[in-house]
Structure formats: C-alpha cells, structure tokens
Structure 1
C-alpha cells in the first residue's frame, strides 16, 4: 500500500462510510492513527459561507491504527479493483484525453498549463512540509495557515482541495486540471438568445437562435428533401428557406438579396444552417450524397488496409480486368484503321504476379476472360509459343488457377467467361461494384499507364498487326512480373530470406514453401473447356477454317483425316488473335 491507494468499506467501518472511495495518505506511528481523504461534496466547517453540494471538495477521515489494520485483515476495508486516474469531478476524462487535447490546440493549452503551474507554485510550501502536515493533529488547519500566508491570499477550500488532489493522485499535475466533460453540453434550446459572435454589420441583437427543436427539425427536413447528387449546400439552403420556412426574397439597405419571413417567425442564417447540418449528418454521409460513394471512398474514407492482407497463399484469390491497347493497327492492304486490341489480365493477390492473359478485338468480351483463365492453367512456355513468343520456364513460372475469382460487372461476370463444364467453375465468384476501381485495386493498378496529353484529341497508329500487338503485350507481362516493386507485400520472414521485391521472386519463394492453392488441369482438358469452339471442314487432306488452310505432321499421323473424310463439319478449338494454331477434336 502506498500514498494514494484507493480503498472502500463495503459495509462501512467505524468513521468510514459505505459507497465512498478513500485515498490512503499516512500511517502515523507517533499518533497511532491512519489518515485518509475522500473527495465529494461537503459543507466547509471553518469558512462562514457554505459550499453547494455540487461543488468539488475533499474531506479528511481519521482511523485508529489498530482499527485500520483490523479492517484490512478482516477484509472490511478493500482495495478498489479499478483505480481512478483523476479526481471524480473530471468524470470519465482520462489523462490520455487531456494530453490529446493539449496536442490538438497547443496555443490554447498553454493558458491552462500556466494555470496548473500557478496552482503548483502556491502548493509548493505545503508539499515541502508534506510529512509534518500529515502528522499534525489537524492537517486542514496547517493547510489553511499556508493558504493565508500565500501572496496573493488563497481561497482556503480550493487550496486544501488542490493539495489533497495532487497528493492522493500520485502528485500528478493532471489532477489539478479543470473539469471539461460538461463543456458545451448544456441545453441551448431553452433560450431564444442568439449565440455566437455579435454581428458587426447588423447589430448585436440581430438574428434568431437556431437551437430550438422546431428550427432544427425544419433544417434537417429541408436537407433531406433537397440534397442530392451534385446539389450544392447553398442551393439546399435556398430551397429550404423558400419551401420549409416560407420565406420571401427581399433587398435590404445594402442592396443585398436576403430572406425574410412574412409572419416574423424565426429563421436561421446560412452559417447556422450549415452548422446544424454538420452536427446532424457526418461529413462522410454528406460527401456520399453530393459526390457519390465512389468519389467519397477514393478521397475521404479512411483506408481499410491492403487487399493482399486478406490472403496467405498463392492463387487464394485472383482478380481479372481488361484494358484497351491505345495504338490502332492498320489494315494490310487498304491501310484503314482496324479495331483496337483488348487485353485481359489476371493477377494473383498474394504475390502480385500476373498469371493469365487473354485477348479480344474491337471490344471487351467474355472469350478474352476465358482465355486468361486458360493461360493460368497452362504451361506458359507452351502458351507463349502459340503466339510466336519464346521464353524459358523460369521467366513465367506460374501454373494453376484460382477457386476465388474477382471481376467487375462486365463480360467477365457472364457465364461465357468460365469453362463449359460447371464443375470447372470457381467456388467463389465475387463481383466488384460498377465504376469502383478500388474494389479490385490489385489488377487496376497493374495496367499499363500512359501520360495524358493536353490539347486537341489525338490517337496512336501502329504498323504492327494485331497478333504482333498480342505478342508485345505478352512480353510486357513478363517484364512487369520481373520488374514491378512489391516491397510492401513482403513480410519479415520473406525479408530475412532475402526475397527480392518483385512478383516473380515472391511467387517462387511462396511456391517453394508450399503456400499455394493453385488448381492444375491437363492441357487437353483445358483446351476443350476454355478455348473457343468452332466448326471446321476437311478438304484435300487438310483442315480449313474461314478459308485458311491448316496442316501439321501431328494431324497427318493422327489418322483423323481418313476418318473425317465422310463428314462435312467437325469440331475444333481456337484462341482469339492466335492465327497460326487450331486444335481439332478427334
């Protein structure tokens, strides 16, 4: 037990009352007594004027030493399970809150700090004589002598209160802070006086109070009726004054347009209107109403953390999205502008590695998403060879798809973006909200970015063919996987293991550790489930598709041409933009 220990008597004991908290001050061996103090509301016995029961006060309690020790042993006097940090008149205020207030407005807190310093300066003679004061027969009288001798003379009750508060709460200067928990919380609706700084232009008593329940109700009703997307608060105020408050527009002596109430009823000013709205509706709600949820989320709402924090394995979640290649290819003969190439990318949220790519011409279609899923499942060396791109296995090592697919509400969300067999579909299909790029930020931020030029509209033209553009985008994916900085994705274990902050190195590290949920399939099954199904015809010992002739030694050795010669149409599978390969179903 130490000075300031907080005790209570559950059933009362001798001079101690139940329901009060007592602070231990001194165990005097000379007088064989224990000195305690409790804080609350009492009437002063020495000064002529009585203190109101609502005022702050400190009352000293005496207990014989043997009685005190008896109460401790018999558990008639128990320590408080939760000790208060500050005196009871500070309510639920904590030291942390007082420190925070000082850091928010340091220019204002200096004034309060100086008040505490002044109080401590007057208390210092008493603190220096702490032992003799607590050992005296009447500690309050000794404190009163010091208060009278102070220059200037101190109020006796407040001096004793400050002394006991400072000692009982561990000589903490915050115990001398003024009460703040009720500041600004009194009811202002009971008076018709207008609050705030008096008007210099119109006079001290000009205007009405906006604190009455009736005016606040009308202001809130007006905001709910007239606020909306793109509506400025000034327009809401104008419509509220005309419709709800029944005002008319008039010209005052300064030739300014003002609102006037024909019946002389009280009306708010524009600033009062804004104040009531700010108190009733949080800033986030008002921004969502005016600008829409997407803009408010992008600019105002606090971050909810990184998306990759929700995953711990490779291919636990995969995001897919499409972008348009800005360059337009030229026709081979007439040199007319051909449709743009669209590219679909799929990214692993755990490592940031781009695991799949698909293509379409002219627009974003579901077949491009289906091709990206096929790319995820296939060996990348074989897949890239279909487009004439030669790579090594370690340049794009990912093989396997994800069972949690995240796309936006476009072609990627349709049934055509998935495998033909429902058993191959992802277990979880997550759709991001429309026009909300942050909902799948991993893939959105991985798209190639171009500098926006100012001036007249312009477009880029390239001499590359569409298949050549597709090959270039494949090489871009490989380059991004090897060069993108993903240092924020590395945890301490990966840093200690000296994993380079690139997607491909993090993928290799997690794959080596067995932290992967990727699902793999056989190549023939992937072709049948994800490639685009078409009809071809067999003629002259070869296969024709859209008047283009396809042949290979594997086709000749398969025996398919001898069996298929009696039928006109046969099933085959192709990849969009891949013009040199076709796969015939045997």
Structure 2
C-alpha cells in the first residue's frame, strides 16, 4: 500500500462509512499516525481522517479495511475525461477563455509552496491549519478549502498535475423536467422568448411521431412536417409575410431543433442510423466490426458462395452472334480467401450452377480441369474436399436439399437479402470492371460457352496466386516468409493439417452433384441428344451385345452441363465414364460444347430429319413425272401377275435374242 491507494471499509470503521472509497495518504512511524483522505462526490472538498498507526494496521490485518486494487489512479470526480488526452479535451471546447493547461498551471502555482514542503506538512499535527495559512498568504488570497482539495488531490493521485483538472463534465446535467414555464436553452434569434419547453409528454409524442412517419425516402423536413401536422395537430399559416406553424388550440409543439435533439436522445444511435438510411446503407457507412476470418482457425472451415455475371458477350455456336454472358458461381474459403469452387450456368443464376460448384470443390482440380479439356498442373489449384459449413444467399441455392447432404454437411447458412456484407469474403473476390463516363459500349469476347468456362477457371488460378491477402496473414505466417496470396496461405495451412474439409470419392461426387439426363444405348454407342459416347469399360460389360438382341435401351447418365466432353452412366451399380466418339471427319474442338449447345444441335438434327421425311414423297413424285415426260411411260408401271415366273418357251427365247441384238450383245 502506498500514497494514493484506494481503501474500502466493508462494514465501516470508525469515521469511515461502508460503501465509500478512501485514499491512503501517509503512515508516520515517528508520530504513530496514519492518515486517509475522503473526497465528496462532486470533487469540491477533501476530508482528512487520522488514526493511530497501530489502530490502522490492526484494521488492515483484521480485514476491517481492505485495499481496492481496481483503483485506476484517476480522481473519481472526473471519470469522463480521465482517459482522454488534454489536447483532445482542448479541441472539444467551444470558445474557451482559458486553456486547460493555463488553468492547471494556475492551480499548481497556488500549491507549489505546499508541494515543496510536502513531507513536513503531511506529518504535521496541524496540517489543515498550515494549508489554510498558506491560502491566506497567497496573492491574491485563495479559498483554503479549495487549496486543500488541490494539494491533497495532487499528492494522492500520483503527484500529477492532471489531478487538478476542473470538474466540468457535469455542467448542464441537472434535471430540467420540473422547469415547464418557458423554453430553456439559448434564446432564438427569430423569437427570443418564443417556443415551448420539452416536457415528458412532448418527448413521448416526438418519439411516437418519428416512429410512425419515418421512412428512408423521406427527408428530415418531411418527417418533422408530418409529425407536427398529424401527431401534434399543427397547421400552417402566413403571418407578417412569413410561413409558420401554429396550433389552433395553443398547445405546445417542438421546434425543428428540439425535434431532432430529442429523437437522437431517445433512440439508440445504431437504430436511428438504420431507420434513417436503411439497414444496408447504414451498415456500409458504419465502422468495421472485424474480419470474418478473425474467429476461424482452419481453411475450409467456412466457404461462402455467390454468383456473378461476366460483362463480356460470348459468341453463338451456329451464327456467331453476340450472346448474353453466363453466370459464374464461386466458393471462397473464409480463412485464406482462396477460391475453392466454381460452377457455371447459361443465362441466370441457377441451383445447378451451385451443384456444379460443389462438385468442383469435392474433386481434385486436375480432374475437374480435364473435364473441360484443360491440362492443369497439380500446384496450380490445390484445394480438394468439401467444407462442412456453407454460406449461400437467398437465391436459387436456398432450396438445396439438405436431407441428402447429411453425410457431409453440418450447417447451411442463408444470408439476408440485399446484404453483401454478410458474405463479404466471396463478394470482394469477384472480378471488378473498370467504369468510365464515355458513351455506352459493350465488350465482345471470341469465346463460346466452354471456352469462357475455361477462361474463368484460369481467372480463379490467377486470383488465388496474385491477390493480396496481407490482411489474413498472422505473425507466424510472416515468419514463414511466403508471399501473402490466398494460394500460399491455403497451401501452407493444408500442409500443417489445418484443413476442415472432408473427402468424397469421385463416383460419389458425380452421383451427388451432377444432373442426370436420358440417354439411349444402341448397339454401337450411348447417345445423348444424338451425340455418340463410348468407353472400353462399357464395352467389356457386354451391354452392347444385349442391345443388339433387344434393340434400344433407355437409361440415365450424369452430365456436366457446361461441357459434355464426358458423361457418366451406371451399369449394374458401376459408374462408367464415357468420352465423346470422334470420327475422322469431325473437328476435335467440336467435342467441347455445352449441354445447351448440344441440345440446339440435336434440335437442328431432328428438324432436318423431319424435313427429309416431309420432302421425300414430293421429291420422288417430281422425278417420276420427269421420267414419264421423257420416256413416255410411267416409272411405276409394275403390276403383279398370278403364278410364278413364266417358263422359257420359243417366244421368250426370240425376245432375248432381239434384246441382245439391239444392245450389241452376242
């Protein structure tokens, strides 16, 4: 215990009352004296209490007096400004006549003589008399009570000049509820003595009116006007050339400043900001509450999903015209910021695109890229495995069947609508478009859908390897001396086993996430919308031999809709991966088309076959007419005769001889 230590008397002790804090001043062994100081709540007076040293120490041993170790060494009457720098307090003042520094220096000058002789004064029998005499000797003379307060405060609170700070933070905090005769505060320049005081009843009506008529599209003036007219019953009139509100019955109503002030006082700042700006805008203008990754410790612990639309137009398959871009769905690891999943959909965002993204997350990325005709190095994209916690927005993915995902999914979180900050990790990872104020234009790509999907896979690899992830790096990460990119963070923690993903066999991922479509198994191949697929493993099953005996077999195959280079068909419980059958006359690049394009080609094929069936009779009849005109005889002049072929007689032999003679035969 030292000078300035806070002391409590739990049950009271002598002059010390329970529940009051006292401050230790001195323990004088020569005079067998211990002194403590008590301050009043307002910091206006200091009271000195003296004990014998033996009495004081015995009270400490018996627990009648205990030290309060939570004491922060600030004067108790200035809690509001105790931890604020003096410079900041000066900046908050309005039109000061004397700076705080000058005020503190003036007060310290009044006690400087006492501080110089402090050891002798604190031990003196007549301490208060010495302080009073010192106050009278000052020029100009000072109030002895005030000088005693300054001196004891300075000595107790660390001999710090800051302890002499004036107690001004309570100024203006008195209760005004009983003052209802006239409006309080500064006099107005338009009507110095006009207006009404804000009573408790008026406060209730102000808050009630604001809650009823507030709307984000309304200005403050509109809300105030609606409250005055519809809640307070005021009207508008023109008097002395000025428009003003009045009440027909002379009842009180608030001014605009009173209305704003009491709305602010009676509402939570955050709630008021949400009410005036809307939740989304208020959140965007509020301070950061921390990063989503701050509470995570593993990669793939949480993965956020969201879709976006590339701005460039694509090339149509048949005519080469500009086509609307497709939707790209990305899944981003909250901890590392790495993109770990990607899916595609033609046109709008669909649930199938999210299922494709989950499929890509579950399987090895080298295998996934191969399905699009890309040969990927293993180190390009290292993520592999499903996260057990997914975050979707309330779009098409919100209807995901979670019952079928119980084996691997532990939590599915749906963010509020129009709340991008709820999944800020994936939102911030989307590619950005540069904007300007030039005349309208659009970007035209030379990619078709599959080529654009390949480009998006490349973009994921670029983003993972080049994005700045410095904000996600810990001190331990910097020591490892790797570049702060999502790819490196993911790779580092994966090598340490800090990966919350779970594995899934490729065949299970196909059955779980890919869409099934009808196929026809014929004697030579499997047909999906007219396209031939085959595989050696399928031939070995003998299914084509069975088809040759029974005709066509209808079955279901799993399809990656954005690229139909491969399909998967299940025969007798075994999943077979089939590849597109390329013949000598087919361009190898034609294998890389989407299911949507394959459907268009199949539709064109069916239309052409229908056209052939419709044209055939007319073509044959036209040619028959031409033949009859040229030959003078009908091309279809056959008639059926009874009996078998006639026997060779003399007449038939003569006809045969004449025919040979005409044709030059022998």
TM-score by structure 1 length? Answer: 0.88
| CA 1:63–1:509: 2 relative to 1, 3 Å | closer
Aligned match of 1:293: 279
Q: Does 1:227 find its partner at 2:210? A: no
Would the aligned equivalents of 2:43 and 2:167 in 1 still touch at CA under 8 Å?
no
1:144 to 124, 132, 138: 132
Selected match of 2:500 from 517, 520, 535: 517
Question: Is the Cα contact below 8 Å between 2:372 and 2:450 reproduced in 1?
Answer: yes
**What is the alpha-carbon distance in structure 2 between the residues aligned to residue 391 and residue 382 of structure 1?**
8
- Residue in 2 that maps onto 1:34: 33
Q: What is the SS of the residue equivalent to 2:83?
A: helix
Q: CA deviation at 1:226?
A: 0.6
Alignment of 1:68-87 (within 5 A): 79=67, 83=71, 85-86=73-74
Return the match for 2:412 from 429, 445, 452: 429
Task: Pick which of 559-568 and 404-413 moved more.
Answer: 559-568
Deviates more, 1:225-234 or 1:107-116: 107-116
CA drift of 1:556 comes to 3.6
Aligned CA distance change for structure 1 residues 131 and 371 (closer, same or farther; 3 Å): closer
Separation of aligned partners in 2, 1:4 and 1:451: 63
Could you tell me whether the CA contact under 8 Å between 1:35 and 1:60 is conserved in 2? no
Q: Which residue, 213, 219, 232 being the options, matches 1:245?
A: 232
Q: How many Å separate the matches in 2 of 1:60 and 1:525? A: 83
Q: Does 1:131 align with 2:119?
A: yes
* 1:437-476 correspondence to structure 2 within 5 Å: 437-454=420-437, 456-476=439-459
Per the alignment, residue 498 of structure 1 pairs with: 481
Cα shift readout 1:64-90 (whole Å, capped 9, x = no counterpart): 5565566666666655565573556x1
Aligned to 2:205: 218
Q: For each residue in 1:382-427, what CA deviation from the matched residue of structure 2 results, as whole angstroms up to 9, or x when unmatched?
A: 22112111111111122111111111111122236x7x94444522
User: What SS is found at the alignment partner of 1:268?
Assistant: coil
Determine if contact 2:90/2:99 at 8 Å carries over to the other structure: no
Question: 2:170 aligned with 1:182, yes or no?
Answer: yes
1:378 aligns with 2:377: no
Are 1:542 and 1:550, in contact at CA under 8 Å, matched by a contact in 2?
A: yes
Q: Is the 8 A contact 1:381 1:391 kept in 2?
A: yes
Q: Please, which of 225, 244, 248 is the counterpart of residue 262 of structure 1?
A: 248
Deviates more, 1:193-202 or 1:532-541: 193-202
Superposed counterparts of 1:389-408, under 5 Å: 389-408=374-393
Unaligned runs of 5+ in 1: 42-52
**Distance across 2 between alignment mates of 1:137 and 1:421:** 87
Q: CA RMSD in A?
A: 3.0
Partner residue in 2 for 1:46: none
Distance 1:74 1:353 in 2: 63
User: Quick one: structure 1 residues 395 and 164, their matched pair in 2 at CA, closer, same or farther if it must change by over 3 Å?
Assistant: closer
SS at match of 1:406: strand
Structure 1 residues 271 and 71: CA distance shift in structure 2, 3 A: closer
In structure 1, what is the equivalent of residue 348 of structure 2?
363
Tell me the residue number matched to 2:257: 271
**CA deviation after TM superposition for structure 1 residue 61, in Å:** 4.1
Asked which structure has the greater CA Rg, the reply is 2
1:5–1:361 CA distance, 2 compared to 1 (3 A) = closer
Contact 1:85–1:95 (8 Å) recurs in 2: no
Quote the residue 2:195 is aligned against.
207
1:450-470 Cα deviation digits (max 9, x unpaired)? 113435544333332111111
Match of 2:515 in 1: 532
Query: SS where residue 562 of structure 1 aligns?
Result: helix
Q: 1:338 to 1:135 in 2, by over 3 A?
A: closer
Checking the alignment, whether the CA contact within 8 Å between 2:86 and 2:100 is kept in structure 1 is no
Give the whole-Å Cα distance in 2 for the aligned partners of 1:180 and 1:282: 26
Hey, what's the Cα distance between the residues in 2 that align with 1:78 and 1:317? 50
| Maintained 8 Å contact 2:305/2:331 | yes
The separation in 2 between residues aligned to 1:342 and 1:22, in whole angstroms, is: 71
Shift of 1:497: 1.5
Where do residues 30-179 of structure 1 align in structure 2 (5 Å cutoff)? Answer: 32-34=31-33, 36-39=35-38, 56-64=44-52, 79=67, 83=71, 85-86=73-74, 90=77, 95-96=82-83, 102=89, 105=92, 111-179=99-167
1:429 Cα shift? Answer: 0.9
Shift of 1:245: 1.6
Q: C-alpha deviations, 1:220-242, integer Å up to 9, x for none?
A: 11101111231222111101111
Structure 1 position 260, deviation (Å): 1.0
CA contact (8 A) 1:359 1:371 kept: yes
Q: In the alignment, what sits opposite 1:282?
A: 268
Alpha-carbon spacing, 1:187–1:371, altered in 2? closer, same or farther (3 Å): same
User: Does the CA-based 8 Å contact 1:165-1:175 persist in structure 2?
Assistant: yes
Equivalent residue runs for 1:269-348 within 5 Å? 269-300=255-286, 302-348=287-333
| Structure ranking higher on relative contact order (CA contacts 8 Å, 6+ apart) | 1
User: What secondary structure sits across from 1:544 in the alignment?
Assistant: strand
In the other structure, the counterpart of 1:548 is: 531
Report how far residue 311 of structure 1 moved: 2.1
Aligned residue for 2:435, secondary structure, equals coil
Gap change, CA 1:466 and 1:172, over 3 Å in 2: same
3-state SS in 2 of match to 1:38:
strand
Alpha carbons 1:39, 1:87 under 8 Å: kept = no
Question: How big is the shift at 1:517?
Answer: 2.0
* SS of residue matched to 1:393: coil
Contact 1:21 1:38 in 2 (8 A): no
The equivalent of 1:50 in structure 2 is none
Do 2:344 and 2:356's aligned partners in 1 also have CA atoms closer than 8 Å?
Answer: yes
Conservation of the 8 A alpha-carbon contact between 2:356 and 2:514: yes
CA contact (8 A) 1:37 1:164 kept: no
Aligned equivalents of 1:456, 1:95: Cα separation in 2: 58
Q: Any idea what the Cα deviations from partners look like across 1:500-523, whole Å, max 9, x if unmatched?
A: 212222222111111112222222
Q: Give the structure-2-normalised TM-score.
A: 0.78
Q: CA deviation at 1:538?
A: 2.5
Distance 2:255 2:389 in 1: 55
Report the number of matched residues.
566
- State the shift of 1:487 in Å: 1.6
In structure 2, C-alpha distance between the alignment counterparts of 1:170 and 1:185, rounded to whole Å: 29
Q: Does 1:580 align with 2:569?
A: no
- Matches of 1:489 and 1:81, distance apart in 2: 38
